[in-house]
């Protein structure tokens, strides 16, 4: 692919990309749906295994705030890319990725605390749910962080212009999805 030529993206192409991404987001929501189904069954069958606030609420709360803050950076990045400001796009993407990394580090701290207390996925069905749901969510964060790293590098190189910025927009949609999934995971696992 040549990088010297200015890529132009028509309105139709942009619509295709965002429609495709929305479909993918829908299918991601369907991917998480059975996890919640499983959690509902588990909570009903074994109410004795869990009670509110039994997991590490402080870390999870900080993580929630981190994700909310990161979404602000993400929208800034999308706006900047639309006005063709590569450096600003790149900076905001890096800030978002940094938030994602902070989320993952805190998640690791949280996991290690539980593993030290011998609370493993195999301990009981509540911890099975907890590790699986947060684990797959964490995996999505990790993928997001990697993608944002690559996009930030490309933005700094000047790949994105006023006429070609759909990757940033798509990435923004994806990041919002990851955030929304966490909005549900956080209360159901940690708070109630």
Partner 1 sequence: MNSAITNKLNIFITLLVITAVQIGLSYADFLAPVGHIIAALLLAASETILVGLFFMGLKNDDRLLRTTALFPFVLFCIMNGALVLDVLIFMKH
Partner 2 sequence: MTEHAAHAEEIHPEPKDFFHKYVWSYDHKVISKQYLFTAFFFLIVGGLLAMLIRWQLAYPFQPVPVLGSLLHGHLFFDDSGAITPEGYLQLTTMHGSIMIFFVMIPMLVAVFGNYLIPLQIGARDVAFPLLNALSYWLYLPAGILAFSSFFLAKGAAEAGWTGYPPLSDVSSSTPGSGSGQIFWLLSVFLVGFSSILGGVNFLTTIVKMRAPGMTWDRLPLVTWSQLITAVFQALATPVLGSAMALMFMDKVFHTSFFIPSGLQNSDDQLVGGGGLVGNAGGGGHPLLWQHIFWFYSHPAVYILILPGMGLASELIATFSRKPIFAYKPMVGSMATIMGLGFIVWGHHMFVSGMSPAMGMGFMMTTMLIALPSGVKVFNWLGTLHRGSIHLTVPMLHGLSFLSMFIIGGLSGIFMAATPVDIYIHDTYYIIAHFHYVVFGGSVFAVFGGLYYWFPKMWGRKMNDKLGYLHWFLTFVTFNCTFFPMHLLGEGGQMRRLATSTGYEYLQPMQDINVFISVSAFILGASQIIFLFNYFYSIVKGPKAEANPWNAITLEWTIPSPAPYHNFDKIPTVYRGPYEYSGEEAEKVGRDWIAQDEKLPA
* Residue among 7, 9, 17, 25 that touches partner 1 (CB under 8 A): 25
- Residue 184's binding partner, choosing from partner 2, partner 1, none, with beta-carbon cut-off 5 to 8 A by kind? partner 1
Burial (Cβ within 10 Å: 0-12, 13-18, ≥19) of residue 33: exposed
# residues contacting partner 1 (CB under 8 A):
42
* Binding test (CB under 8 A) with partner 1, winner from 55, 74, 95, 141: 74
Question: What DSSP string describes 64-133?
Answer: HHHHHHHHHHHHHHHHHHHTT-HHHHHHHHHHHHHHHHHHHHHHHHHHHHHHHTT--TTT-HHHHHHHHH
68: partner contacted, choices partner 2, partner 1, none (Cβ within 5-8 A by kind): partner 1
- Widest Cα–Cα separation across the chain: 63
Question: Which of 74, 119 has the CB closer to partner 1?
Answer: 74
Pick the binder of partner 1 from 8, 16, 26, 120 (CB under 8 A): 26
> Which of 34, 47, 112, 117 touches partner 2 by CB under 8 A?
34
Site mask for partner 1 (CB under 8 A), range 36-65, x = bound: xx--xx--xx------xx---x---x--xx
Binding range to partner 1, per CB under 8 A, among 33-41, 103-111, 114-122, 144-152: 33-41
> Is position 123 an interface residue for partner 2 (rule: CB under 8 A)?
yes
Give the nearest distance from C-beta 132 to partner 2 in angstroms. 5
Among 43, 57, 106, 121, binds partner 2 (CB under 8 A): 121
Those residues whose C-beta lies under 8 Å from the C-beta of residue 172, and which sit 6 or more positions away, are 74, 75, 77, 78
| Dihedral (CA of 89, 92, 96, 101) sign | positive
Contacts of 126 (CB under 8 A, 6+ apart): 42, 46, 49, 50
Handedness of CA 108, 35, 62, 89 (dihedral sign): positive
Residue 61 touches partner 2, criterion: CB under 8 A: no
């Amino acid at each position: 692919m040549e990088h010297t030529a200015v890529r132009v993206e028509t309105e139709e192409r942009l619509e295709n990309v965002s429609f495709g991404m929305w479909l993918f987001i829908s299918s991601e929501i369907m991917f998480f749906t059975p996890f919640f189904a499983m959690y509902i069954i588990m909570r009903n069958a074994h109410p004795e295994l869990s009670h509110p606030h039994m997991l590490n609420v402080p870390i999870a709360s900080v993580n929630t705030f981190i994700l909310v803050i990161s979404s602000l950076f993400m929208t800034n990045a999308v706006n900047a890319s639309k006005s063709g400001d590569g450096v600003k796009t790149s900076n905001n993407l890096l800030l978002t990725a940094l938030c994602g990394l902070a989320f993952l580090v805190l998640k690791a701290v949280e996991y290690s605390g539980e593993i030290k207390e011998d609370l493993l996925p195999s301990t009981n069905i509540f911890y099975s749910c907890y590790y699986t749901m947060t684990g797959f969510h964490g995996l999505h964060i990790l993928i997001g962080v990697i993608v944002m790293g690559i996009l930030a590098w490309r933005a700094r190189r000047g790949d994105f212009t006023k006429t070609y910025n759909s990757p940033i927009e798509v990435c923004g949609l994806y990041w919002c999805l990851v955030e929304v999934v966490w909005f549900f995971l956080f209360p159901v696992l940690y708070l109630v």
